[in-house]
Structure 1
Amino acid sequence: MSVSPRFSAATAVLAACAVLTAGCTEQESSSAVPSPSAAPSLAPGCSAGEIVDGPLPEWARGGFSGDAHARHVLGTQGQLAAVLFGHPLTVDRKDGVSNKILWVAREKYETGTLTITARREGTGEPVLREVAGGPGPSIIDLPQPGCWRLDLAWPGHTDTMDLVYAG
C-alpha cells in the first residue's frame, strides 16, 4: 500500500487563499489584518503564544507575495504556524468574520487529518476539532472565551500552541 506525499506548504497556502477568500465580503477581504489595537489582552497567567504581526518564517511563506506579512503564532516546537486571518479569535462572532486559521506545516507530511485537542486554561475537559487533509485552511471555533492550549497532531508530527479566544 502506498501513501502519496502531502503537497508542499506553497500549494497549501495557494489552496488556502482560494478557500479563505471564497465567500468573503469586500469589507472582510479588505480587513484581513486588523490593527494591533484589535488584539485581545491576555488573561492573567495566560501563556498564550506570541502573536507576531510581521513576516512569516521563510518555511511558511509559500504562496504569499511580497514580505509575506501576516498575524501568526508559532507552535512551541516550531513545526506549525497558525496564520490568523480571523484575528482576534472570538467565541461569538457577530461581525460576519469567522475564526479563520491557516495551518502551515514546516515539513512535508503524508495525507491525513490535523487533530486539535484544545483545553481551556484551568479546566481538564478537552474539546476536539479536526482539519481534514492535515494542516491547511480552517475555521476553528471554541465554546468559551479564555486561553486555550492546543495539542496538534498530523501524520508523523506534533506541536503545541496556546491561543486566546475573546468573549
Structure 2
Amino acid sequence: MGDEGDLAAIVWVAEHPLVSPQSADKSNKILWVARVGAGDGPLEIQATQEQTGQRVSRVVEPAPGPSIVDLPAPGCWSLDLTWGAHHDHLQLGYAEG
C-alpha cells in the first residue's frame, strides 16, 4: 500500500515474488490498484535503489492496472508513483534472481 493510501501494488507470486534480474520462468507481475484516479493513467514510476542510489524510470500503460515491472538490480527500491494529478510512494523489495 502506498504511503498516502491512494495506490496499492498487488504482487502475484508468493515466494520471492519480485526478482532481479528477471527469471526466465516467471515475470515480475504487479497489479496496481488505485483508490483515486483509476482512469487517469499512465502510471509513471521513478524508482530509486536505496542501497546504491541508482535511479530508473518505468511507465505502465494503461494504468493503473496489470503490469510487469523489471528493475535492474536486487534490493529495496523506493518508488515515486504518478498517474494523472495523483501521486503516491511505496517501497518494494527485489530478491536476487
TM-score (norm 1): 0.52
The amino acid of 2:29's aligned partner reads K
The amino acid of 2:53's aligned partner reads G
**Among residues 132, 138, 153, which one is paired with 2:82 in the alignment?**
153
TM-score (norm 2): 0.87
1:81 aligned partner: 8
Contact 2:20 2:72 in 1 (8 A): yes
After superposition, what is the alpha-carbon deviation per residue over 1:41-77, rounded to whole angstroms, capped at 9, x for unaligned?
xxxxxxxxxxxxxxxxxxxxxxxxxxxxxxxxx0011
- Secondary structure, counterpart of 1:76 in structure 2: coil
User: Between Structure 1 and Structure 2, how many residues are aligned?
Assistant: 94
The amino acid of 1:138's aligned partner reads S
- The Cα RMSD (Å) is 1.6
Q: How does 1:17-56 map to 2 (within 5 A)?
A: none
Identity among equivalent pairs (%): 50
Which whole-Å CA distance do the structure 1 matches of 2:28 and 2:48 have between them? 17
Q: Tell me which protein shows more strand as a share of its residues.
A: 2
- Larger C-alpha radius of gyration, 1 or 2? 1
The amino acid of 2:41's aligned partner reads G
2:46 aligned partner: 117
- Secondary structure, counterpart of 1:117 in structure 2: strand
Question: Where does the alignment leave 5 or more consecutive residues of structure 2 unmatched?
Answer: none
After superposition, what is the alpha-carbon deviation per residue over 1:8-35, rounded to whole angstroms, capped at 9, x for unaligned?
xxxxxxxxxxxxxxxxxxxxxxxxxxxx
More contact order relative to length (CA 8 Å, sep ≥ 6):
2
Which whole-Å CA distance do the structure 1 matches of 2:46 and 2:23 have between them? 25
Contact 1:111 1:133 in 2 (8 A): no
Q: CA deviation at 1:92?
A: 2.6
Which whole-Å CA distance do the structure 2 matches of 1:132 and 1:75 have between them? 19
